[in-house]
Amino acid sequence: MYVIIVGCGRVGSALAMMLSQEGHEVTVIDINPAQFERFLGEDFTGNTIVGDGIDIDVLRQAEIERADAFVTATSGDNHNLMSAQIAQRIFKVPRVVARCNDPIRGATYEKLGLRMVIPTTIGAEYLRRAIMEEPAPPAQARGDSQPPADTPR
Amino acid sequence: MFIIVAGGGTVGYHLTKELLAEGHEVVLLEKDPKVAARIAEELGPIVLARDACEGRWLAEAGVVRADVVIAVTGDDEDNLIICQMAKFTSSTPVRTIARVKNPKNEWVLRQLGVDATVSSTAIIKQLVEQEIPQYAMAHLATLREAGLEFVEFHIAGDSPSAGRRVGDLQLPAGTNLILVLRDNTPIYPDRDTILRGGDTVIALLRTEAEQAVRRALVGEAQFYEVPR
């Protein structure tokens, strides 16, 4: 798979390392080149591009037209939402996922057809389960913005 | 009209004042409480210290009965989200206008559902082209919905179109040469009109054909020599 990741912070870089170790082709975009040095290990085999993830020319430079998946993982919710919508609605990337810390905003954009990952909700759920000494949610539910169906309310 | 302005920076502040002066009902949303308080001191309780990116605050501002939401924060992505949130939150149709810093994002934001965009960069560039007559090409007006532009071209003695019949020029389909100004005299060109150095040509063309028309009329030149 060819995956483009916007944002090379802790989350974006960890995802980039995982995917590249699994043998996928990865391009990471970040406006700050120091992030690549800081967070990407020496064994990272993918590409890096210095640029803004909401700039269509930067996305074209990353060859977004042939991307199988597109992930926005910066800490800016609105930046992620705009970048993901450009990928989904303008460049028609088949799989687009956006990180959004605000659960309400995330829920809105999920209704508008964007696949969201809400780290705040997921983090809170993991913390709650740790306190209650319950097992972690099943693997397939981890990436979901909704809490797993078996969550006691 | 009832207008919601999002963003209380310089643009939002002056825009709000102008709209109020014209008799419109305005609510200004500014997320920085200090900035909001300073504006509220002058303009009164029409200022809410709230983040317009959140649907609940747009609802509180009365988006459901708003005619227009104008997003003028300093970030293109925030202005996009505000406009989308306004449309999502309101049960009635609301027109949205976004300020855009990067001119490329004008097209992007309209693709993503914003009704109208304003880029000061693009406006200033257009004025520069018109006010500095040495530019080989100047945009006069854009009919965005129709995808058409009025563009002015300055033909120089060595331009590819100089000395040629209009009918012989390789112009893209849908291009109309409307007017030729020669020594300030208007000529309504037909296929047999021969263009000359010093002519000003006003064309109506499709936006995507702009570069092709430019190459046919003035070549690659950015500037032309002012004829004496």
What whole-number percentage of chain B has pLDDT above 70? 97
DSSP per-residue string spanning B37-84: HHHHHHH-TTEE-S-TTSHHHHHHHTGGG-SEEEE--S-HHHHHHHHH
- Do B83 and B173 fall into the same domain? no
CA atoms within 13 A on the CB side of B94: 31
pLDDT at B137: 87
Q: By the 8 A CB rule, do B5 and B15 touch?
A: yes
Where along chain A do the CATH 3.40.50.720 domains lie?
2-117
How many domains would you assign to chain B?
2
- B225 assigned to some structural domain: no
pLDDT at B43: 95
Task: Using CA coordinates, name the residue in chain A closest to B111.
Answer: A90
CATH number of the domain to which B76 belongs = 3.40.50.720
Which one of B56, B81, B104 has the shortest CB-CB distance to A55? B104
Contact flag A54-B54 (C-beta cutoff 8 Å): no
Contact flag A54-B105 (C-beta cutoff 8 Å): yes
Query: B28-36: long-range contacts at Cβ-Cβ below 8 A with a sequence spacing of 24 or more?
Result: B28/B4, B29/B4, B29/B5, B29/B57, B29/B58, B29/B61, B32/B8, B35/B8, B35/B9, B36/B8
- Which of the four pLDDT bands, split at 50, 70 and 90, describes residue A103? very high
- Do B130 and B187 fall into the same domain? yes
- Do B111 and B179 fall into the same domain? no
Fold topology of A2-117 = Rossmann fold (3.40.50)
Mean pLDDT over B176-199 rounds to 94
A92 touches chain B (CB under 8 A): no
Q: Which two tokens stand for residue B53?
A: 């990116």
Q: Which of A126-130, B47-51, B210-214 has the highest mean pLDDT?
A: B47-51
Mean pLDDT over B82-104 rounds to 95
Residue with tokens 């040495």: B134
- Do B112 and B131 fall into the same domain? no
Contact flag B81-A82 (C-beta cutoff 8 Å): yes
Please state the separation of Cα B194 from the chain's center in Å: 33
B134-147: b (≥16 Cβ within 10 Å) or e: ebbbbbeeeeeeee
pLDDT digit string, tens, across residues A22-54: 999 999 999 999 999 999 988 899 999 999 999
- Do B31 and B109 fall into the same domain? yes
- Do B163 and B103 fall into the same domain? no
B54 touches chain A (CB under 8 A): yes
- Do B101 and B181 fall into the same domain? no
- B81 assigned to some structural domain: yes
CA distance A81 to chain B (A): 8
Touching B: A residues 40-59, CB under 8 Å? 54-57
- B194 assigned to some structural domain: yes
Contact flag B81-A89 (C-beta cutoff 8 Å): no
Give yes or no for residue A152 having a pLDDT over 50. no
Please state the separation of Cα B111 from the chain's center in Å: 15
Residue span of the structural domain in which B197 resides: 125-218
pLDDT digit string, tens, across residues B26-36: 999 999 999 99
CATH number of the domain to which B187 belongs = 3.30.70.1450
In one-letter notation, the amino acid at residue B32 is D
- Do B65 and B131 fall into the same domain? no
Angle in degrees, CA B177, B183, B189, rounded to 5: 25
pLDDT at B29: 98
